[in-house]
């Protein structure tokens, strides 16, 4: 029983260490190096890209130990006082990044050029217009009644 | 390209905001990276970070906000605009305005008919 408990506690400690390591990695997304790239030089120009990033994650773990039940010595045999234990650990996460702008350092000076994601804009446009048409249709139907 | 600190500044991690990083459940902070010297320009990247801490998890949202450019003692602030998001929000706002106007006009017409 004591061995099992110790093993479980060791496993739990290991899990905690793993969680803190993963959390540190997650927090590294808040460092400037995560958003700004290393400068790249080509000819007279140096370029630094700036990206927006988001990252998230969560974990959960649990363990259970059964303590021996107080036995009714008359009714239960000795063999039923076997202890059992169990534990589990799970987690999930994800990250997303997209370029926002490019910083160009050239002979003329420093300029910030935005990066436009046409696909995202097109999707947003289709969604907005679709929603508008649906709402207008509903309003028209409601007016007819 | 020269780095004043000797090491690439973008590798050095968080500069000013690091100490406050683990405080509180919700944290919104402005982060200034180490300066880089390119040609005669000294660039200081700045960004905003939102950190949400849960008991067993976290969420980090980090976006660039501006670049401070220094040349011959003159400081220039270059904001970094997220044009994609601005257009997306603009489209959403435009849709909302159009829906509101149409609904208002229809409501007014209906009211006229009743009167």
pLDDT in tens, A39-57: 999 988 999 999 999 988 8
Which of B51, B3, B41 lies closest to A34, judged by CA?
B51
Question: Going by C-beta distance under 8 Å and a sequence separation of 6 or more, which residues neighbour residue B53?
Answer: B22, B24, B25, B26, B27
Using a CB-CB cut-off of 8 Å, the residues of chain A touching B12 are 33
**Helix%, strand%, coil% for chain B, nearest 5:** 35, 40, 25
Assign B23 a pLDDT band (cuts: 50, 70, 90): low
Mean pLDDT (chain B) is: 80
Interface contact flag, A50 B64, Cβ < 8 Å: yes
Question: Going by C-beta distance under 8 Å and a sequence separation of 6 or more, which residues neighbour residue A27?
Answer: B21, B22, B51, B58, B60
Using a CB-CB cut-off of 8 Å, the residues of chain A touching B72 are none
Token pair 């969560």 is found at A58
Section A75-91 average pLDDT: 66
- Is residue A101 a contact partner of residue B81, using CB atoms and an 8 Å limit? yes
Q: Give the distance, in angstroms, between the CA of residue A6 and the centroid of all CA atoms in the same chain.
A: 32
Token pair 């609904």 is found at B103
Interface contact flag, A112 B80, Cβ < 8 Å: yes
How is residue A75 annotated by DSSP? T
Q: How crowded is the C-beta side of A139, counted as CA atoms within 13 Å?
A: 17
- Provide the H-helix boundaries in B1-115: 83-114
Using a CB-CB cut-off of 8 Å, the residues of chain A touching B17 are 30
CA distances from B9 to B1, B21, B29, B78, B90 (A): 12, 19, 19, 19, 36
Interface contact flag, B91 A33, Cβ < 8 Å: no
Asked if the model's pLDDT at residue A116 lies above 80, the reply is: yes
> In Å, how far is B75's CA from the nearest CA of chain A?
12
Instruction: Write down the pLDDT at residue B58.
Output: 87
Which of B1, B77, B86 lies closest to B44, judged by CA?
B77
Instruction: Write down the pLDDT at residue B9.
Output: 39
Mean pLDDT (chain A) is: 81
- Is residue A83 a contact partner of residue A69, using CB atoms and an 8 Å limit? no
> In Å, how far is A48's CA from the nearest CA of chain B?
10
- Please give the ipTM for the structure prediction: 0.70
Interface contact flag, B92 A128, Cβ < 8 Å: yes
Instruction: Write down the pLDDT at residue B114.
Output: 76
Chain A from 13 to 72: CB within 8 A of any B CB:
19, 23, 26-39, 41, 46, 48, 50-60
What share of chain A in percent tops pLDDT 90? 31
Asked if the model's pLDDT at residue B74 lies above 50, the reply is: yes
More confident residue, A144 or A113: A113
Distance CA B90, CA A38 (A): 32
More confident residue, A13 or A96: A96
Handedness of CA A20, A26, A30, A35 (dihedral sign): positive
Distance CA A51, CA A101 (A): 7
- Which candidate from B34, B39, B62 shows the least CB-CB separation from A34? B62
Distance CA A141, CA A143 (A): 5
Instruction: Write down the pLDDT at residue B103.
Output: 85
In the numeric block, which tokens belong to residue B68?
């401070």
Q: Which of B62, B69, B104, B107 to mutate to test binding with chain A, by most A CBs within 10 Å of its CB?
A: B62
Of the candidate ranges B48-52, B60-64, B83-87, B102-106, the one whose mean pLDDT is the lowest: B102-106
Section B77-84 average pLDDT: 94
Task: Provide the angle, in degrees to the nearest 10, between the axes of the packed helices A118-144 and B83-114.
Answer: 10
Per the DSSP assignment, residues forming a β-bridge with A62 are A88
More confident residue, A118 or A93: A118
């Amino acid at each position: 029983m004591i061995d099992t408990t110790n093993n479980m506690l060791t496993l739990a400690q290991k899990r905690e260490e793993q969680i803190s390591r993963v959390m540190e990695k997650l927090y590294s997304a808040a460092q400037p190096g995560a958003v700004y790239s290393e400068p790249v030089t080509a000819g007279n120009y140096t370029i630094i890209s700036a990206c927006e990033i988001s990252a998230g994650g969560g974990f959960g773990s649990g363990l259970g130990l059964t303590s021996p039940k107080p036995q009714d010595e008359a009714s239960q045999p000795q063999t039923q006082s076997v202890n059992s234990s169990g534990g589990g650990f799970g987690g999930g996460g994800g990250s997303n990044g997209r370029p926002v702008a490019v910083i160009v350092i050239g002979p003329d000076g420093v300029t910030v050029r935005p990066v436009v994601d046409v696909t995202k804009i097109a999707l947003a446009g289709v969604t907005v217009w679709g929603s508008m048409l649906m709402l207008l249709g509903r309003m028209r139907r409601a007016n007819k009644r | 390209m020269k780095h004043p600190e000797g090491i690439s500044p973008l590798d050095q991690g968080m500069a000013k905001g690091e100490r406050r990083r683990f405080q509180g459940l919700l944290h919104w902070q402005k982060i200034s990276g180490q300066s880089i010297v390119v040609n005669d320009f000294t660039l200081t990247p700045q960004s905003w970070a939102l950190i949400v801490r849960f008991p067993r998890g976290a969420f980090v949202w980090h976006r660039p906000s501006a670049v401070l450019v220094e040349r011959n003692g003159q400081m220039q602030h270059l904001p970094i605009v997220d044009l994609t998001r601005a257009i997306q929000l603009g489209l959403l706002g435009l849709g909302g305005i159009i829906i509101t106007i149409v609904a208002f006009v229809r409501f007014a017409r209906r009211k006229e008919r009743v009167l």
